[in-house]
Amino acid sequence: MQVMCPPRERIVIVTLCGSGRFEPWFHMWIEALGHAGHPAFGLSSYPSMNGGVKDHHEPERKVALDKLHFAKIAASDAILVLNVMAYIGESTMNELREAERLGKRIFMLESWGKGLGIGGTHYEFIRRAARRFGVWGMYSPIDTMHYRSPFDGRDLLGPGGGLRHAIVARLREREADALGLTAEERAKR
């Protein structure tokens, strides 16, 4: 897949914000934004780098990493909140508040009303994924609909066409892999 190079004035530097439990989404969005020609900051440390353990840092190290992530937000034009399955934890809420304070553009990956999340009406494979990622029974602490949600791919992935289609197809494929979907479940999406 080729990399799209938008004109310099249209390049958007993006910091990804979200829980480390959603590491696959950080990787897939860094790749997608890169292919769209936008530099992206992710986490400085991922669970896969630490035996799959999400909360592997001592408290003082966590404070230092949070400050570093705030510096990434300050250096960015926008943030993309990876609120997968409606989950937004305390650290991500702090990052969102910092982005608002700094006047950054804010994109939400998914659109959820306050108090909504994965429930009994969702497909079983989504409920299973929510349990696997530890977010079953957790609900969005805020109404994400007043941000630029649901995520509008044209804003960061460019106008319609072959390249954007390829980027989106790759995102959907990688997300299905991260969710552990079967071929039948992928067809339902």
Question: Which run of H or E residues covers position 105?
Answer: strand 105-108
* Range 24-30, long-range pairs (CB < 8 A, 24+ positions): 24/174, 24/175, 24/177, 24/178, 25/82, 25/84, 25/109, 25/175, 25/178, 26/82, 27/174, 28/170, 28/171, 28/174, 28/175, 28/178, 29/80, 29/82, 29/109, 29/171
Return mean pLDDT, the chain.
Answer: 83
Q: Running DSSP on this structure, what letter comes out for residue 134?
A: T
Around Cβ 147, how many Cβ atoms within 10 Å? Answer: 19
Give the phi and the psi of residue 17 in degrees, each rounded to 5: -125, 140
Structure tokens that stand for 145 in this block: 């609909």
Mean pLDDT of 83-112: 92
Return the bridge partners of 81, or none: 17, 108
Confidence band for 92, pLDDT divided at 50, 70 and 90: very high
Residue 35: Cβ-neighbour burial (10 angstroms; 0-12, 13-18, 19+): buried
Return the bridge partners of 106, or none: 79
- Render pLDDT for 118-141 as a digit per residue (tens, 0 to 9): 887 788 888 888 888 888 888 889
Question: Which run of H or E residues covers position 107?
Answer: strand 105-108
- Render pLDDT for 27-58 as a digit per residue (tens, 0 to 9): 999 999 988 889 999 988 776 665 555 565 67
Q: Letter for the amino acid at 93?
A: M
User: Which residue ranges form the domains of the chain, and what is each CATH number?
Assistant: 10-188 (3.40.50.10400)
Return the bridge partners of 15, or none: 41, 79
- Render pLDDT for 151-181 as a digit per residue (tens, 0 to 9): 555 667 776 666 777 888 888 888 888 888 8
